[in-house]
């Protein structure tokens, strides 16, 4: 892991985790799906970019199981996540076309997820994209998501246009 809470709050030079992550991305550029690399090396961590999910709020997360075949028995899992951007003027939509596994944990969800805090994209040994997301949560109740997918794509629209 490179730019999650543990690394960013470890002390020392706060720019080091970002430099390490940048080097990781460049070393693995050819292994990343193009859209996942574009997101990871662009708006994912750039808080000056209105497409950056940092401080965004979850509007919804929707799993889909597209089906084929005579009995509609050939299936896979997709995930769409809609966020209200930090400036409250954009809707950000993340799309994971094929989800291989996921874990979503929240010790307390009574107040929602609060802000999207930190996240990073990396690859596992099989070459699948891992998207780890940390939500601010209520004090002492941070939520974490880990999504293993074929790819992740970002779409950004003005509020109400989606």
pLDDT at 162: 64
* Claim: this prediction has a pTM higher than 0.85: yes
How many other CB atoms are there within 10 angstroms of residue 133's CB atom?
22
DSSP assigned state of 69: S
**Position 138 confidence tier, pLDDT thresholds 50, 70, 90:** confident
Lowest mean pLDDT among 23-37, 55-69, 71-85, 109-123: 109-123
pLDDT at 3: 84
Is residue 58 pLDDT above 90, yes or no? yes
Cα separation, 83 vs 156, whole angstroms: 10
How many other CB atoms are there within 10 angstroms of residue 107's CB atom?
11
Which residues fall within 8 angstroms of residue 118, CB to CB, at 6 or more apart?
3, 4, 5, 8, 54, 133, 134
CB 41 within 8 A of CB 21: no
Is residue 113 pLDDT above 70, yes or no? yes
Closest CA to 53 of 9, 115, 111, 106: 115
Radius of gyration of the chain (CA): 16
Cα separation, 159 vs 131, whole angstroms: 25
- CB-side exposure of 17: number of CA atoms within 13 Å? 17
Lowest mean pLDDT among 4-13, 45-54, 57-66: 4-13
């Amino acid at each position: 892991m490179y730019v999650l809470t543990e690394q960013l709050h470890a002390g020392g030079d706060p720019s080091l985790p970002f430099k390490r992550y940048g080097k990781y991305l460049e070393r693995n550029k050819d292994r990343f799906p193009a859209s996942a690399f574009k997101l990871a090396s662009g708006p994912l961590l750039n808080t000056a970019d209105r497409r950056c999910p940092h401080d965004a709020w979850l509007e919804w997360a929707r799993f889909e199981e597209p089906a084929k075949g005579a009995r509609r028995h050939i299936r896979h899992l997709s995930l769409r996540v809609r966020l209200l951007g930090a400036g409250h003027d954009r809707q950000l939509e993340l799309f994971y076309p094929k989800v291989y596994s996921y874990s979503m944990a929240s010790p307390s969800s009574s107040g929602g997820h609060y802000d999207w805090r930190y996240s990073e994209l990396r690859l596992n040994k099989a070459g699948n994209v891992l998207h780890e997301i940390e939500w601010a949560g209520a004090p002492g109740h941070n939520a974490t998501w880990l999504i293993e997918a074929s790819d992740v794509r970002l779409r950004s629209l003005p509020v109400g246009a989606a």
